Chains A and B, each alone.
Chain A
């Protein structure tokens, strides 16, 4: 009896898992929203606090119209977590709409980052501060040989990109990158016409 009690107590004291830092491309342009034309003013109504990560989830999904899988990679969280953030964003916006409450966009466990690249010639890393302009050459040596770099992680473990998702042909071992929403088993190998499989699902 005593042992069970001790176990229960220790499980109660366990702290929750640490939240991943969500990556946000740009801070929001505004600090919040105010309703107008209220029928009756409720002095005690508190404003709804929309977190910056929830704003970003809404922006990626509904404004930029990415699917949730792509958007979750951009924010550096798992797909289920992204869905939770997005659902909470909709819930809060609906609350503010229906109850005529103010909305403040602030807080959340986020950091702001731009895209990083690596030059193949001078091996330097550089970022793109102007998001609307595409980079054509390395800013240091002018070389056109550069690539998007996902590994430049100045915030260690803050972002994660899932392991490379590859479809493999069982016959000739031809590989190509898996396209999300497109089951491998429906695809045919362009080289030998064999059936494709997801690499992670193949039992060695």
Chain B
């Protein structure tokens, strides 16, 4: 199963980005092959509609779960209809490697 994590940088030690649509990088972790892929977010500087555009990038890659800090008003109904699970991490800053570690429980 593929899991997308929003990240502030392109290393495993980067923190989880609190924004979804305008995060710096998407980290796509495949729990079967244990592979990690970094995608720079092309929608970082977009003034409007960054969320839905980012959803499209992730949906094309067949992501089932998304870990982020928050999801916007336009993104939530879209992900609901695509049946993608949202995991919101607030208050506790975590690095990408922390997330991957706990995903392998």
Is chain A's interface secondary structure helix, strand, loop, or mixed overall? loop
Q: Which residue of B lies closest to A25 (CB)?
A: B80
Does chain B have a CB within 8 A of A172? Answer: no
Indicate with 1 or 0, residue by residue over B62-105, a CB within 8 angstroms of chain A CB atoms. Answer: 00010100110100110111111111111110000001001101
CB atoms of A140 and B102 under 8 A apart: yes
Interface segment among A67-75, A121-129, A174-182: the answer is A121-129
Residues of A in contact with B, size category: 20 to 34
Do A129 and B77 touch across chains, with their CB atoms under 8 A apart? no
Decide if A112 is an interface residue (CB 8 Å cutoff).
yes
**Contact: B85 with A129, CB < 8 Å?**
yes
A94 within 8 A of B: no
**Interchain CB contact under 8 A, A129 and B80:** yes
Say yes or no: A142 contacts B105, CB within 8 Å: yes
CA distance A130 to B65 in the complex (A): 12
Interface residues of B (CB under 8 A from A): 65, 67, 70-71, 73, 76-77, 79-92, 99, 102-103, 105
Taking beta carbons and an 8 Å cutoff, which residues of A are in contact with B? 27, 111-114, 122-130, 139-143, 152, 154-155
Given contacts A126-B85, A154-B71, 10 further A-B contacts (CB under 8 A): A124-B88, A124-B89, A125-B89, A127-B86, A128-B85, A129-B86, A140-B103, A152-B88, A154-B73, A155-B73
